[in-house]
């Protein structure tokens, strides 16, 4: 998680620097990125959500998932549906997004984060039928990929490999 959290501020800085230069208009609103065919827009979905423009964020994330199978967008969209901020809360859909991300390999490492969250959802039965054995498998995979939180969770439930 630390690797991912550190990359977000850098990515957002780059998004603001590069993104503004990519626009053909002077409109720097998040809505201007909804129809963009540039993958950089996926980062703007995060900013749109954090500044309260949930409608734009959802549209951006949905398009990023559709166009590029973007795991980063799957994770953030899942978080929106899990929290119910700006949309009706939908744990099943949130877990489906994490499952999709868990089954996808991405170069940035967000798939590891999705595997961790999907493992917890399976283990605890959040938005999906509880399957502790499968949950431990996904958590172990995330831990093996360097996700410290997954290793800590496995220790907490007494399922850590020694």
Residues contacting residue 133 through CB under 8 Å, at least 6 positions apart = none
- Can you tell me the distance from the alpha carbon of 89 to that of 58, in angstroms, rounded to the nearest whole number? 13
pTM, full prediction: 0.79
What does the block give as tokens for 75? 């994770």
CATH superfamily for 2-156 is Tetratricopeptide repeat domain (1.25.40.10)
pLDDT in tens, the chain (162 residues): 333 333 444 444 444 444 444 444 334 566 666 777 888 899 989 989 998 999 999 999 999 999 999 999 999 999 999 999 889 999 999 999 999 999 999 989 999 999 999 999 999 999 999 999 999 999 999 999 999 999 999 999 998 765
Tokens 């595997």 correspond to 115
Report in angstroms the alpha-carbon separations of 30 from 9, 33, 40, 53, 110.
17, 5, 12, 8, 23
**CA dist., res. 97 & res. 79, Å (int):** 9
């Amino acid at each position: 998680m630390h690797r991912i959290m550190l990359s977000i501020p850098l990515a957002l800085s780059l998004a603001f620097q590069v993104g503004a230069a990519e626009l053909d208009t002077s409109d720097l609103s998040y809505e201007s990125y909804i129809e963009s065919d540039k993958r950089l827009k996926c980062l703007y979905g995060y900013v749109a959500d954090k500044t309260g423009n949930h409608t734009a964020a959802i549209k951006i994330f949905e398009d990023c998932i559709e166009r590029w199978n973007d795991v980063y967008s799957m994770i953030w969209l899942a978080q929106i549906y899990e929290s119910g901020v700006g949309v009706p809360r939908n744990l099943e859909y949130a877990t489906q997004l994490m499952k999709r991300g868990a089954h996808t390999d991405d170069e940035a490492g967000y798939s590891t984060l999705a595997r961790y969250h999907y493992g917890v959802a399976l283990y605890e039965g959040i938005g999906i039928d509880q399957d502790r054995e499968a949950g431990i498998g996904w958590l172990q995979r995330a831990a093996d990929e360097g996700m410290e939180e997954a290793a800590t969770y496995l220790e907490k439930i007494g399922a850590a490999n020694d």
